[in-house]
Structure 1
Amino acid sequence: MRRHLALIACAALALAGCASLPTSSPPAPFDVSARDGSGVQFSAEGPSDGSDAATLVSDFLLACAAGPQDDYATARLFLTAASARSWQPETEILVYDTDTAPAVSATSENASRSEVTVSVLGVASIDQAGVLTRSNGATVTRTFTLVREDGQWRIDAPENMILISRAALTASYTLANLYFPSTDGTELVADPRWYPSRRLASHLLAGLVNGPRADLDPVVANAIPAGATLPSHGVEVSDGVARVELNASMPPSESARESLQWELTRTLTQAADVSQVSVSLTGEVMEVAALPTPPSYSLDTLVGAGSSGVGIISSSGVAPRASATDALNPTASPVDSSLVAWSGADGVYAERAGTAVAFVPGQAPLGPSIDRYGWVWGPATSASTLSVGGGADGAFDVAIESESAGEIRAVRVSPDGSRALVVRGSTPSAWVGVIERGPGGRPQAVRSLEQVFLDGAVIDASWTTSTGFAVAVRGGSGEDDQLVTMTLGGLPSSLPLPIRVSSMSAGASSASVVIVGTDDAGRKQVLVRSGALWQNVVVDVSSARYAG
């Protein structure tokens, strides 16, 4: 009999309980135990006696999906004895499309040896550090060699990897961020990773000790002392307190201790069972008076431009910020709404409280971006440079890698100022890179660009958080434009847009989006998303964007 993947749930109990629900009673508190913050759990059975080679491999894939719950103990039962001892399953995780079942077939077989091929529609791969890389949707094929051991088929010398569906990944793993202080110490920069939900706090701490990914080295500094090691038991969590024990020297300064506590607290409290973090270094408890205060971002500030100039849009009207009547695609600083910028006929303009602070010549048809340091990112000056203004010395060029990807159409800076979302190319595509900065947060270069694989041409893009973003995408002829939302290191989701879009901007979530374009009758529309609905902007503006 085929073995099956069993979802451990309480649906039957819940249905049974409905029959005896009280019709009225005073409210009363109750406690619910949550183990490890692990959410949904899967389990699997071991191999069946007499399984043929293809069936054994199919059941092995199911056991791999349940592997994070039992440290792959069940999955190892499908391997030869020697392979069970040496196999390292989480060296690589290949994620396939949930809507397509793996194609499993025995390609060759004799009495003592068989080869079984598995083909899936690839979605992404995750390396042993938890870093996800999306694929282009091509078919992925892996071959398993099976031998007879004690009369049963067993997998011999498998690759150090597992194949699981996207649904199994999101059920058993968590996309969480390692947080490292920015080089200026004013913010924590996210480094997204996928870890098993079980014992999440321990996985996160191990990730912090190992440090950030290489492309973040120029923009962050790990507050954990170099050479620190972890105890074998990981992180112990009791009554919401994660007790972190590191074999490391005590940081010499109060600011260094504050940064360490900040990094650990922000990272580990992502685990559902952790609300506080206690830190000891080589047996000495670290005392910190207070954590640093990060910047406060107002990404839901909606800026409009029209015949009356540039202003902040609210339900009661428009609060004027600048009198420019030819402005398009305006925006505001994510930390100071008195600083606004827009595209004009001959360049990008910026004003703070009615006083001009920057002019960047050139065309920026999708509008500028303002980062948290007050720098205004304007038009491209070549396929590898963008002009930035806002300082006393006027506009200057910032280098942007990947010149071969084509002309730069727009750059959007993440709220924390650590990353840039670049729209570029004749068939526009989206790229994400890190921003290297100098004193005062002055941008110097955008490096380590990675393409965001999307099904269609990019119209416009916008950050929703420091790790989340939204992209307006146009597919083939006759297809609706799509709003694609995702987080760094995550997988995308999409929904159709009601008009043909020319520009798009998002606020603090994908529920706050403004789009500009034309409807089926060719009429210009400026629409704001309100939950699941799209509504006309309440004031007369020709274009609008959110802060950033």
Structure 2
Amino acid sequence: MKTNAYSSYHFSTKLLSIFVVFAVAILGGCASLPHQGEVKVSRVIVPNEGFSTQKAPKPLASATKNEILSGFLAACRAGAINNDFEAAGQYLLEKTAKAWNPQKVVHLYPNDVVPQVKSSSDNQLVLELSSSGTVDDRGELQSSPNLQLAATFTFAQNNEGEWRIASLPDGITISEGAFHDAYVLRNLYFLSPDKQELVPDPRWVPRFRIVTYLTSYLLEGPSKTLDGAVTTAIPAGASLLSRNVPVENGVAQVRLEAADPVTSSRGQSLLSWQIQSTLQQVPSVTGVELTLNEQTINAQPPRGLTYNAPVGVVVKGNQVVRVDGQKVYLSADKTAGINLRHPARGPLPNSPMVVLDANRRILSIDLQNGNLQELVASNNIAPPVVDRWGWIWYSTPDLTNSLKVVNTGQERYEVTKTYASGNLTRFAISRDGARMWAMRAGDKPSLDLLRIVRNEEGVPKSLELISQMALDPGSLAFPAWQTSTSAVVLVTSPGRAQSRLVSLKLGERPTEVANAPLGTDFAAGFGTEEMLLQTPSSEVFSRDGRRWSIKFRKALDPTFF
């Protein structure tokens, strides 16, 4: 089962309500509760999730069906922590235990939810609960808050006349607390299309044997949410020589075999880059020893790209100035006759810088002499964004199914949006260039997470939907990336005296962070906690940590270079 990192969340004016975008009616494909016959609530004891039981007792010979199910649930929790479900299998008939796949899916429920166990027939118990999500066998999370789920367990007696579970859905069901005891969120690293940068692919990985799981997931390839947005140096069909990656004296021993060996020094370097970057997130791993078809690979990983340190910038007095006052990027003598708005610059030292002229023209700025060059002339141009390839992304009201890009060499492309129609008015591109957060306008506005499909030269080809979050009609959303896997969005809704900050972390559910001054524009610095916010009266506030403080009484269009 392939899943996305986000389900659909609705930013309500009263609270952060949740919308489910996938249809799951029952746990693990099991039959739902019968519509006929008496249903009785049973006194099954659901294990205390606050207690970390890592050893599950064996079933007693005299155990009732209810006690067998209680013991099985406790054994599943212990099995998740130990990554060993042999004890849980003792509560099943022998043939059932052989067929059951506990690692196919993990069903999650909130810590404050008490699962209900009901009896629908003499030999059946039904576990009912309010789900908060699932994690599949590749570590991909699909949120499903408040979805009512049910799993049917059928019982039979074994040869000794003892009750055992005869049929059940694949996977396990545990609380969020138990899940976080057993699993941790870590990144797999794949290559950008031009192979100049690593792109993270967050997965939930068992803490026990984490190095083996990370390696296995990496060999299986990127998640569906990154189709067309990344590539890999790992040979097709590559596998581990054994089913384990041992760590000896801090060195992970990765032994691979593949039909197509990687022979070029460049290919070996990229392969090492992916594997080392993925495994060295584990504190106990200080190095990696890599072999492919029993040949040691000693190639050093690339150094990667060097990015600008983020600097806050505003438009003040028709000039582009740094927030700290140390530099003026575009002075007033260069902007005569221009209504300067919305400066933007890419994340690399040689990235171009552009500005809008009254939302009618995109102008590039020569940072050496301050001269301006017109790139685009249109009406009502949305604030542009510059990616690391130097592509300048922009939108106009007529672009309901695409965005346009241009570079300083006057190359131009229209990038098709392959999902619901609607004009993208505010957008932010991840530093690696693989993902975009975008606000989609219309009668049913939304904040959309997209993957950017590019060719090997980084030319964008299409925008594919990963997930979507509904906004209240009339709301505005201003997204900004803070790290390669996390963003923050300022949401301003009609009728509210304040805006709200919402944290968007890949692989996790969105969480509302705090209220903020009412904002009409917003920016956040990559790799920092610094944020800038513009109010309707053109005041600019800064936030570093938890406090907002006024920075300018009259300024516009805060951003970070």
TM-score by length of 1: 0.83
1:293 aligns with 2:303: yes
The question of whether the paired residues in 1 share the 8 Å contact of 2:540 and 2:553 is answered with: no
- Structure 1: gaps (5+ residues): 9-40
Q: Pick from 531, 535, 543: which aligns with 1:513?
A: 531
**What are the within-5 Å matches in structure 2 for residues 244-323 of structure 1?**
244-248=254-258, 250-288=261-299, 290-298=300-308, 300-314=310-324, 316-321=325-330, 323=332
Q: Work out whether residues 330 and 341 of structure 1, in 8 Å CA contact, stay in contact via their aligned partners in 2.
A: yes
Q: 1:129 to 1:503 in 2, by over 3 A?
A: same
- Structure 1 residues 308, 174: closer, same or farther in 2, change over 3 A? same
Q: Secondary structure at the match of 1:191?
A: strand
**CA displacement 1:184-235 (0-9 Å, x = unmatched):** 2211122222110111111111112212234534333321222322122421
Partner of 1:388: 405
After superposition, the Cα gap between the structure-2 partners of 1:238 and 1:539, relative to the gap in structure 1 and judged at 3 Å, is farther
Give the paired residue count. 503
| Percent identical residues | 26
- Where 2:187 maps in the other structure, the secondary structure is strand
Please list, as runs of the form range in 1=range in 2, the aligned pairs for 1:109-148 lying within 5 A after superposition.
Answer: 109-110=121-122, 113-120=123-130, 122-135=131-144, 137-148=146-157
1:169 matched to 2:179: yes
Q: Which residue of 2 aligns with 1:473?
A: 491
Alpha-carbon distance in 2 for matches of 1:170, 1:358 = 53
462-471 or 295-304: bigger deviation:
295-304
Structure 1 residue 326: Cα displacement = 3.1
Equivalent in the alignment of 1:414: 430
The C-alpha deviation readout for 1:111-134, integer Å capped at 9, x for no partner, is xx12223221x3222221222222
Equivalent in 503, 515, 520 of residue 497 of structure 1: 515
Could you tell me whether the CA contact under 8 Å between 1:91 and 1:127 is conserved in 2?
yes
Could you tell me how far 1:265 is from its partner in structure 2? 0.7
Instruction: Kindly state the Cα deviation for residue 417 of structure 1 after the two structures are TM-superposed.
Output: 1.0
Aligned residue type for 1:369: V
* Conserved 8 A contact 2:59-2:71: no
1:134-283 alignment, distance < 5 Å: 134-135=143-144, 137-149=146-158, 150=160, 152-214=162-224, 216-248=226-258, 250-283=261-294
Query: Aligned pair in 2 of structure 1 residues 336, 312: CA closer, same or farther (>3 Å)?
Result: farther
Distance 1:224 1:338, change over 3 A: closer
Partners of 1:335 and 1:364 in 2: CA distance: 28
Partner residue of 1:460? Answer: 478
Q: Which amino acid aligns with 2:452?
A: I
User: Cα deviation per residue 1:20-74 (whole Å; 9 max; x = unaligned)?
Assistant: xxxxxxxxxxxxxxxxxxxxx7525336645554554355334333323332233
Partner deviation per Cα, 1:477-518 (whole Å, 9 max, x = no partner): 558532121322222222222222222222224722222235
Q: Following the alignment from structure 1 to structure 2, what is the Cα–Cα distance between the partners of residues 153 and 516? A: 66
Equivalent-residue separation in structure 1 for 2:147 and 2:514 (angstroms): 24
Q: Secondary structure at the match of 2:211?
A: helix
Quote the Cα distance in structure 2 between the aligned partners of 1:274 and 1:352: 46
Partner of 1:374: 390
1:488 equivalent in alignment to 2:506: yes
Distance 1:475 1:409 in 2: 16
- Work out whether 1:88 is the aligned partner of 2:101: yes
Q: Deviations over 1:456-496 (max 9, x none)?
A: 55511111222221122356855853212132222222222
Task: Pick from 60, 65, 68 the counterpart of residue 72 of structure 2.
Answer: 60
Distance 1:322 1:220 in 2: 40
Distance in 1 between the 2:341 and 2:170 partners? Answer: 53
CA distance in 2, matches of 1:116, 1:152: 20
Residue in structure 2 matched with residue 444 of structure 1 by the alignment: 461
Deviates more, 1:460-469 or 1:163-172: 163-172
SS of equivalent residue, structure 2 residue 98: helix
Contact 1:88–1:160, Cα closer than 8 Å, also in 2 = yes
1: distance between equivalents of 2:57 and 2:356?
63
Following superposition, the deviation at residue 366 of structure 1 comes to 5.9
Structure having greater relative contact order (Cα 8 Å, sep ≥ 6)? 2
SS at match of 1:498: strand
Q: Give the alignment partner of residue 106 of structure 1, picking from 104, 113, 118.
A: 118
| 2:136 maps to amino acid | D
- What's the offset of the Cα at 1:242? 0.8
Q: Which string of whole-angstrom CA distances, capped at 9 and with x for unpartnered residues, describes residues 334-385 of structure 1?
A: 1138733334321433324023355334466762211011111112442111
1:538–1:474 Cα change, 3 Å: closer
2:38 alignment partner in structure 1? none
How does 1:32-51 map onto structure 2 within 5 Å? 43-46=54-57, 49=60
User: Structure 1: how far apart are the matches of 2:154 and 2:93?
Assistant: 11
What CA distance in whole angstroms lies between the structure 1 residues aligned with 2:539 and 2:55? 53
Counterpart in 1 of 2:544? Answer: 530
